[in-house]
Amino acid sequence: MSYLLGVVLFALAILISVSLHEAGHMLTAKAFGMKVTRYFVGFGPTLWSFKRGETEYGIKGIPLGGFCKIVGMTPQDDDVEPGDEKRAMWRYPVWKRTIVMSAGSITHFALALIALWIIAVSVGLPNPKFPSTEAGFRAEPAVIAIAPCVVVENAARACESGDPASPAEKAQLKDGDRITAVNGKPVSTWGDMLDVVRATPPGTATVAYVRDGKPAEARVDLASVQRPPLGDPKGAASAVSALGVALSPSTPTRVEYGPVAAFGATADFTGTMAVQTAHAMQRIPQKVPALWNAITGGERDVDTPISVVGASRLGGEAVENNAWLVFFMLFVSLNFFIGVFNLLPLLPLDGGHIAIAWFERARSWLYARIGRADPGRVDYLKLMPFTYAVILIGGAFTLLTVTADVINPITLFSR
């Protein structure tokens, strides 16, 4: 029951986000004097509506988004009534049209930032002092926590009876010890320790450490285990050494902030998220074969894109496992991604309209400088084949992700 509640709550959060996206377009258009005739939540048949002023507001039967109708978005639109010619959107200065068309994405960014600020002051954001390294592990100091056992085979599972004890525990190392060297090779970070231990042959090794400010050494019998390469969890496993320790929880992975400091932390985290989003979007074409493989019976790669269906399912898992932080971080990530994606300079996305508006402005400026007549507005009808191609590709990709999320969904928790 809690899973279904989470799915519904996340789907509702997405619907509200998209509705606010359209409200951003509507409110900025009205503020500039443009004519907005319709604002609806959903698509399909109208369930309920009312008219206030010149705008009809309502709810439609298919809750998969929303829309607002701004009169005269392009010179080719024939929805401008006599007397409203000056209020057609395409006649307004380019900077006003840019604000109106970008208002939807700005709304998504605002929702993400507000949610991040709340998270920062309530439960905390990831500790910025310990960023991930290129190898995929953290750069924290090599302060250890003794693991209960060593899992010899390459398997992500909890300890079971019969698993060998931790070599570090047998050597009487303790939680909170900071490893400084292995067989004389210096260690300064957790990543260094993983590299050095794995490169050391299984068997007896000398481990230098610091406990309560005092240096000491221990003779440790390193275990032989099967592990994939660091930074490539999908790579082929090979025999490496293991110390039988985990990263000490004494180093906080999250930091809570006061109301004022949270603004700076939110901005820093948003910058990191922007870089990660850009990298994720660049990898989308490479992930299409992995999505198809997941549909046809292969293992679902957790790094593949998800649809609204997949995001809602993950939201359901988060609520089912009382992981509300995961729920809200999913909400943040999705809003940020939608905001960025919608600004891509492709029709019919908002970014496509913005790109054309500035292209027209730049072309008019250039022609004026070289003494030629202004070529006027771009003919959107000539761009329709390209627009249809974008819609077709986007629709096919959406269908692919939805199918994968139904047949072989990504899961964050064991159910």
Dihedral sign, Cα of residue 287, residue 290, residue 295, residue 301: negative
Residues 227, 155, single domain; the answer is yes
Catalytic annotation present for 22: yes
Residues 6, 117, single domain; the answer is yes
In this predicted model, what pLDDT tens digit does every residue of 148-171 receive, in sequence order? 888 888 876 777 878 888 899 999
- Residue of 175, 167, 174, 176 lying closest to 206 (CA atoms): 167
Reported as a pLDDT band with limits 50, 70 and 90, residue 49 is: very high
Alpha-helix residue ranges (DSSP H) falling in 123-154: none
Task: Give the end of a domain, one of 221, 247, 273.
Answer: 247
pLDDT of 212:
86
What DSSP letter does each residue of 177-209 carry, written as one string? -EEEEETTEE--BHHHHHHHHHHSPSEEEEEEE
pLDDT of 208:
93
Task: Give the end of a domain, one of 247, 281, 312.
Answer: 247
Residue 232 has pLDDT above 70, yes or no: no
Number of Cβ within a 10 Å radius of residue 14? 21
* Average pLDDT rounded to a whole number, residues 340-354: 93
pLDDT of 129:
54
For the chain, give the mean pLDDT. 87
Strands 178-182 and 185-186: antiparallel
Burial level of 264, CB count in 10 A (0-12/13-18/19+)?
A: exposed
Reported as a pLDDT band with limits 50, 70 and 90, residue 26 is: very high
Residues 98, 6, single domain; the answer is yes
Number of domains in the chain: 2
- Minimum mean pLDDT range among 86-100, 172-186, 213-227, 295-309: 295-309
pLDDT of 388:
94
Residues 112, 194, single domain; the answer is no
CB of 140 closer than 8 Å to CB of 251: yes
Residues 27, 89, single domain; the answer is yes
Question: The pTM is what?
Answer: 0.73
Q: What type of residue is 294?
A: A
Residues 243, 187, single domain; the answer is yes
120: CB partners within 8 A, 6+ apart: 256, 257, 262, 265, 266, 269
Reported as a pLDDT band with limits 50, 70 and 90, residue 343 is: very high
pLDDT of 143:
84
- 318 inside domain: no
- 200 inside domain: yes
Residues 337, 379, single domain; the answer is yes
* Average pLDDT rounded to a whole number, residues 279-290: 84
* Average pLDDT rounded to a whole number, residues 107-122: 93
pLDDT of 234:
66
- 56 inside domain: no
Catalytic residue among 22, 140, 317, 360: 22
Residue 356 has pLDDT above 60, yes or no: yes
- Residue of 331, 323, 414 lying closest to 2 (CA atoms): 323
pLDDT of 137:
43
- 226 inside domain: yes
In this predicted model, what pLDDT tens digit does every residue of 364-376 receive, in sequence order? 999 999 989 888 8
Q: Determine which helix (DSSP H) or strand (DSSP E) holds 342, and give its type and residue range.
A: helix 324-342
- Minimum mean pLDDT range among 197-211, 269-283, 325-339: 269-283
CB of 198 closer than 8 Å to CB of 231: no
Q: Which domain covers residue 208, as residue numbers?
A: 144-247
Percentage of the residues of the chain whose pLDDT score is greater than 70: 93
Domain with 149 in it: what CATH number?
A: 2.30.42.10
Residues 235, 176, single domain; the answer is yes
- 83 inside domain: yes
- 297 inside domain: no
Residues 327, 371, single domain; the answer is yes
Residues 153, 80, single domain; the answer is no
Residue 126 has pLDDT above 80, yes or no: no
- 151 inside domain: yes
Dihedral sign, Cα of residue 166, residue 171, residue 175, residue 180: negative
- 62 inside domain: no
83 vs 22, more confident: 22
* Average pLDDT rounded to a whole number, residues 231-245: 80
Task: Give the end of a domain, one of 195, 230, 247.
Answer: 247
In this predicted model, what pLDDT tens digit does every residue of 192-214 receive, in sequence order? 888 899 889 999 999 999 988 89
Residues 329, 234, single domain; the answer is no
Residues 111, 151, single domain; the answer is no
In this predicted model, what pLDDT tens digit does every residue of 172-199 receive, in sequence order? 999 888 899 999 999 888 888 888 998 8
